[in-house]
Structure 1
Amino acid sequence: MGLTEWVLVAVAVLAVVLVVLWRQAVRVDRLHRTVLRSRATLEAQLARRAAAAIELAASGALDPAEAMIVSDVALRASDAAPVDLVPDGLAGSPETGPLAGVDDSPGAGTNRGLLESELSRTLRAVLGPRSERDELAADPRAAGVMTQLHQSWYRLQLARRFHNSHVEQVRRLRADAVVRVFHLAGRAPLPEPFDMDDELPGD
Structure 2
Amino acid sequence: MNLETLSLVLAIVLIGWYLSFSASRLDRLHHRVETSWATLDSLLQQRAALAHQIVLVSNLDPATAYLISSSAAAARDANIVERSAAESVLSQALKLVQNAALDNSLQLPSELLVELSDISSKVKLAINIHLESVNATRNVRSKPLIRLFRLAGKAPIPVRYAFEDEVV
TM-score using structure 1 length = 0.74
CA contact (8 A) 1:39 1:163 kept: yes
Paired amino acid for 1:186: G
Measure how far apart 1:26 and its partner are.
Answer: 0.7
CA contact (8 A) 2:98 2:113 kept: no
Aligned positions of 1:40-119 closer than 5 A: 40-80=38-78, 84=79, 108-109=80-81, 111-119=82-90
Cα deviation 1:82-121 (Å, max 9, x = unaligned)? xx4xxxxxxxxxxxxxxxxxxxxxxx34x21111001112
Q: Which residue of 1 aligns with 2:102?
A: 133
- Separation in structure 1 between the aligned mates of residue 73 and residue 53 of structure 2, nearest angstrom: 10
- 1:26 match: secondary structure: helix
> Between Structure 1 and Structure 2, which shows a larger proportion of helix residues?
2
Matched residue count: 165
Cα deviation 1:33-79 (Å, max 9, x = unaligned)? 00011000110111111111110001143223322221111122122
Q: Which residue of 1 aligns with 2:121?
A: 154
Measure how far apart 1:22 and its partner are.
Answer: 0.6
CA contact (8 A) 1:61 1:136 kept: no
Measure how far apart 1:190 and its partner are.
Answer: 1.2
Q: Does 1:143 align with 2:114?
A: no
Q: CA RMSD in A?
A: 1.9
Paired amino acid for 2:34: L
Structure 1 window deviating more from structure 2 (174-183 vs 60-69): it is 60-69
Q: Which residue of 2 aligns with 1:169?
A: 136
